[in-house]
Structure 1
Amino acid sequence: MSKLPNISTSIFTVMSKMATEHNAINLSQGFPNFPVNERLTDIVAKLAKENVHQYLPMSGYPPLLSKIATLVDDSYGRIIQAETEILVTAGATQGIFTTILTLVKTNDEVIILDPSYDCYEAPVLLCNANPVRVALNDDYTPNWATIEKVCSSKTKMIIINNPHNPTGKILTKSDFEALEILLEKYPDILLLSDEVYEYITFEEKHISAHTREKLLHRCVIVSSFGKSFHVTGWKVGYLVAPENLMKEIKKVHQFLVFSVNSICQVAISDYLDLVSVDEIGKLYQEKRDYFRQLLKESRFELMPCEGTYFQVASYAAISNENDVDFCKRLIIEHGVAAIPISTFYADGKDLKLIRFCFAKDNTTLEEATKRLCAI
């Protein structure tokens, strides 16, 4: 008997498989196709011959933990304790899974804001707990009154994703103020803040939960070196949480993973001495602007993109099809793969919107948009 009877193959896998079968340009899955920075690959090449291939401490490579603490301080002005408040994870998804598995119990409720990343619900269900899916407004802002209505003594956690996948929205100061007022009314609710795209923001920097003093004692923050440094296949992320929560999360982590890839941790630790995270947003803003410019003459309507490396577009002027069927036809007839936004909703809400990933080299973006402008 399945523990996840209503969960099937992810839409990312489906669309990428179709893209391969039809030789389509894959703008569906969120990974870069351009080369990794040579400074990082040079570090890896050097380390391959050094003694860095055995287990590292369960919490993470100590110099990397120290540099994460410095990074958080430099980025957000928050002082954290490297030994007790940071955990290196096998990717952000493992960090999310471990956090939920640790802190959520049978019959608890976890509020998930739709459209939402598909890895949030599964661990909640595996805890025999109840996901409570609440749709964002159609402009992808949170409706805090609606969110408050579903809060109760059973609510254990609220998950926020900022910058937001798939929409590219970032939360405002008033959003955080509303969240803090809500959590004051429910002192037992924990916050899981998924901030894997924290360094991929554009005109406005995102407001991190790291900067919200009222939230720090009850918040687990998820980050991703894979996203920040264009090495998604390395699967290296990290969690920051107060010591009392982190102590429990580490208990579960040690039996899921024990320790994370050693050479990758050491390489990232060394790389942090050479790179500025300020470079990351500039790189992706150039790609966002180029992609939007190339689509200017298309029939797609481009939604605002404040962060992440995803661009949401409306195809309402092109077709009345549901978004899943449109995306399949886009692959088969036009040779471009995208992701239907309805699949990020519990109820399959269809606003005739699809998501493109613009974390691609310029040649790929140019050929993809040429095809899209021909529709």
Structure 2
Amino acid sequence: MHIEPFQIAVPDDQIADLHRRLRASRQPPMTPSDPWRQGMDATWLHELTRYWSDAFDWRAAERELNRQPQFIAEVDGRRVHFVHRRGTGPKPYPVVITHGWPGSFFEFHALTEMLCDPASFGADPDDAFDVVVPSLPGFAFSDAPATAGTSAFQVADQWAALMQGLGYERFGAQGGDLGAGVSVALAARHQARVDGIHLNFLPSSYEPAVDAARAPLTAAEEDYLRAKSEWAALEGGYAHMHATKPQTVATALNDSPAGLAAWICEKFRAWSDCDGDIERCFSKDDLLTNLSLYWHTQSIGTAMQMYWENRLQPMRFAAGERVLPPVGFARFPKEIHRPPREWLERVFNVVQWSDMPRGGHFAAMEQPELLAAEIRVFFRRFR
């Protein structure tokens, strides 16, 4: 496997073009509504886009991103971008961590520090990890798939090949959002090499076969499935669009940075434990670092493609089918779906379950200390 070092270097003319578009953007007339009730709040979006054009320092963000050792590997003929940071400790344990949408590898910037060098954060150096954070196909600096058919299962095969190319015969996996699906697929398809997986989200398409006669749904499972369906009806329009007509919406979002900011930042507010104040969880600089990765790589359309592919290859399990590697699950209070333990145990060997005190969908950004502690505890059993 060919692997080469990588550094982010966005050309000056791209930054100038972004600033021009931001200053020329026009916001639509809005009907009267309470802030955020019908989606993005126009006043906050205006503040964000002005800051993006006039004050945000991409070069400073770029330098900070480049502090992490980044590489490009050729896997199955496609370029995969990844962070690979080796741990500081007597025997670091390898773990591959996968992001989702609307995040990026930047989600794990703080978490990577805590996992690789636990002693610097007051934790046990014996808990150090070698951390690999790939960018999903079509996200950021990873090539988009050349042909259709790359769902979470195929990405899992690519990650297994990447970890082998890095010299890791056995390893663990962690993820939320789309990354949870990739982690589950790793455990299902590569159980001889994957020791265990830790999740902070259950893939939305996960569906175990239910034998109503032998193991009927519990009251908690029924409540969960009802809440999930209600959420999809009121909040899931973005996912339906991604999964059915991604190229239509991608045309608009790839052309308008203000539109891209509205599409993505509304989710950071709605899905986080911020009590309605998005900047209580995320600074403008962090939001814009993530947004700029989508903008400068023109990856919003290719990133949506995984929703299309996962719809065609959902994560459904037949009666009696089991995923054997142990699973740890951290259930954050403001996560968009909060499954009960028994729903996972229909398929998974759940050995660690934690109801977290605070945090939401973007756990690695919102509560990196809490998530790092959970990951350390879970993977100790494999050291």
| TM-score of the two chains, using structure 2 as the length reference | 0.29
Could you say which structure has the higher helix fraction?
2
Question: Bigger relative contact order, structure 1 or 2, given CA contacts below 8 A and separation 6+?
Answer: 1
